[in-house]
Amino acid sequence: MTESYQQFRRYFSLNRIQAVIVPAMRKAWLASGLLCPACQNPFPPVDLSAGFRLRCPACEADLIIGFSHDWLCPLISVTGGLIAAYAQRLDGCQFVIGASIYSIIFLVVCACVLLPRLPVKMQLARDPVQGLRIPK
């Protein structure tokens, strides 16, 4: 992948949008009843307004809190953008531009309305540095 594509994907990812919008909407949003995926110990309630990255107090594993059905937002936004552009009877390049703009608008609206209502899940955080995974 090219460097510009990776930057575009990094800046316009759903995780970045939900990390900005959801804590701003819920200042004292507590997540409780979650299990650490590494050691299966119950995780104490945490305030998610500080961010979605955590560290397990028992096993010191890096964790991230995500939404169980986060694939719904891009699906709804792209479908809504295509339907809105089709309803305006746009064609050609105008259809693509209109559908893209409507999709971005629907994505922000879905992130504000739908994501806070989805259940949360805890996952192991991926290492930001990729290795070659060559055995020693």
Task: Say which residue the tokens 């560290």 belong to.
Answer: 55
10-66 pLDDT per residue, tens: 666 656 565 555 554 443 345 556 778 888 888 777 666 666 777 887 888 888 877
| Domain range summary for the chain, segments of one domain joined by + | 9-124
Q: Which of 75-84's residues contact partners 24+ apart within 8 Å by CB, and which partners? A: 76/106, 76/110, 76/114, 77/103, 77/104, 77/106, 77/107, 77/109, 77/110, 78/103, 78/106, 80/106, 81/105, 81/106
Contact 39, 118 (CB under 8 A): no
Give pTM, 2 decimals: 0.59
- pLDDT tens for residues 110-128? 887 887 777 777 788 777 7
Query: pLDDT tens across 88-102, in order?
Result: 999 899 999 999 999
